[in-house]
Chain A
Amino acid sequence: MSQFAINVLFVGASFAIYIGIAIWAKAGSTKDFYVAGGGIHPITNGMAIGADWMSAASFISMAGLIAAGGYANSTFLMGWTGGYVLLAMLLAPYLRKFGKFTVPEFIGDRFYSKNARLVAVVCLIVASVTYVIGQMAGAGVAFSRFLEVDATTGLIIAAVVVFCYAVLGGMKGITYTQVAQYVVLIIAYTIPAVFISLELTGNPIPALGLFSEHSESGMPLLSKLNQVITDLGFNEYTADVDNKLNMVLFTLSLMIGTAGLPHVIIRFFTVPKVADARWSAGWALVFIGLLYLTAPAVASMARLNLMTTIYPEGPTAEAIQYDERPNWMREWEVTGLIQYEDKNDDGRIQLYNDTEAFAPTAEQRGWEGNELDVNRDILVLANPEIANLPGWVIGLIAAGGLAAALSTAAGLLLAISSAISHDLIKGSINPRISEKGELLAARISMSVAIVVATYLGANPPGFAAQVVALAFGIAAASLFPALMMGIFSKRVNNYGATAGMLTGLVFTLVYIFIYKGWFFIPGTNNLADTPENWVMGISPLSIGAVGAIINFAVAFAVSKSTAAPPQEIQDLVESVRYPKGAGTAVDH
């Protein structure tokens, strides 16, 4: 069987499962549609949260980022998992007790203000739409490489599949497909990792292999990697970071951004009890941890494998001939994600770090510049091919990458559509809409959201990479503080919360725009986006944490100087704090 046929088989079979689940789990009421009927088991929910959370960025890009940055990019590992500690202790159980369908609904009720609810809706939609673009684009890359269709056709296939289960089944369909998608993506991620870890270190558990001996050289794996890449002018993989303040703030931004992302929070509304919300957070992190503990091993091992592919005799000997390059390189070259240029016309592939410090060595070896550009995003997808694993593993990776992208896309689309049908239409425009009418509105708004996301995925705005920072910045600086203060302070009132959200949001956006361009339009940035220009060395990616602190400060200051919230709101805060009397999530 050809590789193409294997890929089609794996992807086709996984899609058939998702659609089968959708038909089985059709939503009959708004409660089914928004919170899956409210009866999901915490372990099931934990698995669904895992798939909901682990996006194309986690599955495809994260290992590549760590491989390139080494220790410095551990921030992604800690940031994207540490947020669950905050969710479990500061938000999820109380929001579950509150027992409504959406995140803006809590903000609107707690701060007794339609304006606060609208600000929350806007933050939610901007954060979720930017996020969903990345998912659709990721699905497009996986399709074009593995199914040999062009990215747009691939995107349309993906959109139709998501449409089937998300629009029909709502949260109910999404929950059960996410469970299936989690299983697909975790198997796809760990199997190649286990093989590679065995090959390099003899240890079948990648997370342990990372700290084991490299079988071939007898040195610890990480020392071997350090040695190989420093011989080629790169920084040590395990090198420490000078700018600790920025590293701390970036990690913090990712953590509170994670805790504030609405598509994750609403998954906690689907469990029957407050205690289940706490357990779900724990199970979610177990399921997420399986991938996140493996990712750093994949990163270092893939980087070492890539280097040994290019320099089979070691980094101080000659690089391989371009004509003798392995097959996977030829195939990825077609997609443009690997690029080669023979700068010194010797027919070999010199891959090294082209810096001033390394220039004398390069000159001595007759090198005239780095000749190979490898896009970081292909690392996980090409991993099985780099390690010469059998064809079915490659088919599995294709299905896994798509599962990661589609499960997150579906969760985001649900968050967007419920904000539109429940918070905007039922909450403001037409409060007397019937249950049937609201369900129809939810389905229509989700369909529109899918069309917009597909269009943007096919024509990604030039700023696709930066917008992820925007999504986390917005969630960190606006939604997280408002939710937390709504639970932990009885004194914060409508004025305080609204002012806090707006200043946190505006501050964060302005700081990002100054360096990344206003509304991300290239060339409109006021300062070059380089460390020397950052205020106190704080990068625009890390600013969400500062925005959150400003949000807290403004909210407290404004609340102190204005009237305390009415008694019934203080009673509401009180009731949210105690699990007693929680039913499943309800409409009113």
Chain B
Amino acid sequence: MAEETSNAEAYWKANLRLITGCLIVWAAVSYGGAILLRPLLSGIAVGGTDLGFWFAQQGSILTFIGLIFFYAWKMNRLDKQFGLGE
């Protein structure tokens, strides 16, 4: 029982770490690259405008899609690794 609990705890901790990492990227592209850091990135030209504009209208959406698939793939591996899958 104790072993089962610690296994479950380790799984949950791994999940929380993964979520934290993904949400840092999530915030970095949208709130960072597209909004707050736009003035800093204004030197990088992208097709008639700057990188921040690209992040705001394209880059963040593409990153979001990548993040969800990465998370799903990683979690399925964790499910198996900890024997907690369906």
Interface residues of A, Cβ cutoff 8 Å to B = 66, 71, 74, 77-78, 81-82, 84-85, 88-90, 93, 207, 210-212, 219-224, 226, 238, 240-241, 244, 247-248, 251-252, 273-275, 278-279, 281-282, 285-286, 289, 292-293, 296, 574, 577-582
The minimal Cβ–Cβ distance linking B65 to chain A, given in whole angstroms, is: 5
Q: Of A90, A281, A289, A581, which contacts B61 at CB under 8 A? A: A289
Residues from chain B with a CB closer than 8 A to the CB of A82 are 26, 30, 60, 64
Contact code string B54-86 (vs A, CB < 8 Å = 1, else 0): 101110111011011101100110010001111
Most chain B beta-carbon neighbours within 10 Å: one of A71, A224, A274: A71
Q: Of B57, B72, B85, which contacts A88 at CB under 8 A? A: B72
Interface residues of B, Cβ cutoff 8 Å to A = 8, 11-12, 15, 19, 22-23, 26, 30-31, 34-36, 38-39, 42, 46-50, 52-54, 56-58, 60-62, 64-65, 67-69, 71-72, 75-76, 79, 83-86
Residues from chain B with a CB closer than 8 A to the CB of A577 are 8, 12, 15
A240 pairs with B38, CB closer than 8 A: yes
Known: A77-B61, A78-B60. A581 touches B86 (CB 8 A): yes
Query: Closest residue to A222 on the B side, CB-wise?
Result: B48
The minimal Cβ–Cβ distance linking B73 to chain A, given in whole angstroms, is: 9
Query: Closest residue to B52 on the A side, CB-wise?
Result: A240
Q: Of A212, A292, A293, A581, which contacts B47 at CB under 8 A? A: A212
Q: 12 A-B Cβ contacts within 8 A?
A: A78-B61, A89-B68, A224-B48, A238-B53, A248-B31, A251-B35, A274-B86, A278-B75, A289-B61, A289-B65, A577-B8, A579-B86
* In the complex, the 10 A-B pairs of residues with the closest C-beta atoms, listed nearest first: A220-B48, A211-B47, A74-B56, A222-B48, A278-B72, A296-B57, A282-B68, A223-B48, A238-B49, A282-B69
A210 pairs with B61, CB closer than 8 A: no
A286 pairs with B35, CB closer than 8 A: no
Residues from chain B with a CB closer than 8 A to the CB of A275 are 72, 75-76, 79, 85-86
B48 pairs with A211, CB closer than 8 A: yes
Known: A247-B35, A292-B61. A220 touches B79 (CB 8 A): no
- The CA-CA distance from A281 to B66 in the complex, in Å, is 11
B71 pairs with A88, CB closer than 8 A: yes
Residues from chain A with a CB closer than 8 A to the CB of B35 are 241, 244, 247-248, 251
B48 pairs with A219, CB closer than 8 A: yes
A78 pairs with B56, CB closer than 8 A: yes
Residues from chain B with a CB closer than 8 A to the CB of A221 are 47-48
Most chain B beta-carbon neighbours within 10 Å: one of A252, A281, A282: A282
Residues from chain A with a CB closer than 8 A to the CB of B60 are 77-78, 81-82
- The CA-CA distance from A417 to B35 in the complex, in Å, is 39
- The CA-CA distance from A223 to B47 in the complex, in Å, is 9
Residues from chain A with a CB closer than 8 A to the CB of B61 are 77-78, 81, 285, 289, 292-293
- Add 19 more A-B contacts to A85-B68, A282-B65, A293-B61 (CB < 8 A): A74-B56, A74-B57, A77-B56, A85-B67, A93-B75, A211-B48, A221-B47, A222-B48, A222-B49, A238-B48, A275-B76, A275-B85, A275-B86, A281-B72, A289-B65, A579-B84, A580-B83, A580-B85, A580-B86
The minimal Cβ–Cβ distance linking B40 to chain A, given in whole angstroms, is: 11
Residues from chain A with a CB closer than 8 A to the CB of B69 are 282
- The CA-CA distance from A286 to B66 in the complex, in Å, is 9
B84 pairs with A89, CB closer than 8 A: no
Query: Closest residue to A281 on the B side, CB-wise?
Result: B68
Q: Of A89, A210, A278, which contacts B57 at CB under 8 A? A: A210
B75 pairs with A78, CB closer than 8 A: no
A285 pairs with B75, CB closer than 8 A: no
Q: Of B8, B36, B68, which contacts A285 at CB under 8 A? A: B68
The minimal Cβ–Cβ distance linking B54 to chain A, given in whole angstroms, is: 7
Residues from chain B with a CB closer than 8 A to the CB of A580 are 83-86
The minimal Cβ–Cβ distance linking A242 to chain B, given in whole angstroms, is: 11
Residues from chain A with a CB closer than 8 A to the CB of B84 are 578-580
B31 pairs with A251, CB closer than 8 A: yes
Residues from chain B with a CB closer than 8 A to the CB of A71 are 53, 56-57
B23 pairs with A85, CB closer than 8 A: yes
The minimal Cβ–Cβ distance linking A552 to chain B, given in whole angstroms, is: 15
Known: A82-B60, A251-B31. A578 touches B68 (CB 8 A): no
Q: Of A81, A226, A240, A581, which contacts B64 at CB under 8 A? A: A81
